[in-house]
Amino acid sequence: MSDKTTKPATPEVDDEDIESIVAAAEKAEAEALAEAEKAEADADSESGSEIDRLEAELEKAREDMMRALADAQNTRRRAEREVKETRDYAVSKFASDLLGVADNLARALDAVNRDEMGEAGKQLADGVELTQRALLTAFERHGVKKVDPAPGDAFDPNRHQATAQFPSEHASGTIAVVMAPGYVIGERTLRAAMVAVSTGPAEAEGGGSDGSVDVKA
């Protein structure tokens, strides 16, 4: 009996088998690379979408902030305007009540004939005049100004009130006679000046003019 051991035969691998193995390895590598690239592209796409979403939210937040800032500025300006108007016109009612006092002082001075008055009367008239000046100064200090047009001035329906119309030496549409001064506070009219409006010079023949002037505001 022989003691020699028979070794298994080594399978032979030809060139065609090697090429098949290499091709399969290259195919597997290509598929793995393609899969990796696809996964990377998907990740980039998801990341880009997230960035776009965040940018859109940031833009919306910026617009909301600018709108809120504009609303706050408008509210502040409106409040400042209301405070200014309240301060400017706070004395309107009180000043209106004092206009009659100013009128009476003016009438008293118009009625005075200093040439016919004694020393005591002149001193009294001086006191009334000083009182009138002090009142008008107080008016101006609080924004109340006198509107005292003169004959021949243009008629302003926002500042003047026409009580009559008649021919005069002044041009049509101008003031013929001033009956009482007016007063304004800021841009508001406390009382319009009462005036008569001229319709123009009277006609040489016919005894007058029948023309009229629009005196509405």
Domain assignments of the chain as residue spans, ordered by start: 16-90, 91-142, 144-217
For residue 165, report the phi and psi dihedrals to the nearest 5 degrees.
Answer: -135, 135
pLDDT-derived band of residue 162, with 50, 70 and 90 as boundaries? Answer: very high
Give the model's pLDDT for residue 84. Answer: 78
Distance of alpha carbon 177 from alpha carbon 163, whole angstroms: 10
pLDDT-derived band of residue 206, with 50, 70 and 90 as boundaries? Answer: very low
In sequence order, what are the beta bridge partners of 8?
Answer: none
Residue with tokens 């833009």: 59
User: Which of 154, 150, 158, 155 lies closest to 190 in space, CA to CA?
Assistant: 158
User: Which of 90, 104, 197 lies closest to 144 in space, CA to CA?
Assistant: 90
Q: CATH fold of 144-217, please? A: Nucleotide Exchange Factor Grpe; Chain A, domain 2 (2.30.22)
Structure tokens belonging to residue 152: 């021949």
Per-residue pLDDT reduced to its tens digit, 107-156 = 888 888 877 888 888 888 899 999 999 999 999 888 899 999 999 999 99
User: Which of 183, 170, 165, 176 lies closest to 103 in space, CA to CA?
Assistant: 183
Structure tokens belonging to residue 115: 């040439």
Per-residue pLDDT reduced to its tens digit, 94-104 = 888 899 999 99
Distance of alpha carbon 107 from alpha carbon 132, whole angstroms: 11
Give the model's pLDDT for residue 207. Answer: 47
Summarize the confidence of residues 71-89 as an average pLDDT: 85
Other beta carbons within 10 Å of 197: 23
Q: Considering the chain, what is the average pLDDT of its residues? A: 81
Distance of alpha carbon 48 from alpha carbon 41, whole angstroms: 10
- Residue 28 or 183, more confident: 183
Sheet containing 160-166, strands listed edge to edge, beginning at the edge strand earlier in sequence: 160-166, 193-198, 175-180
Give the model's pLDDT for residue 133. Answer: 92
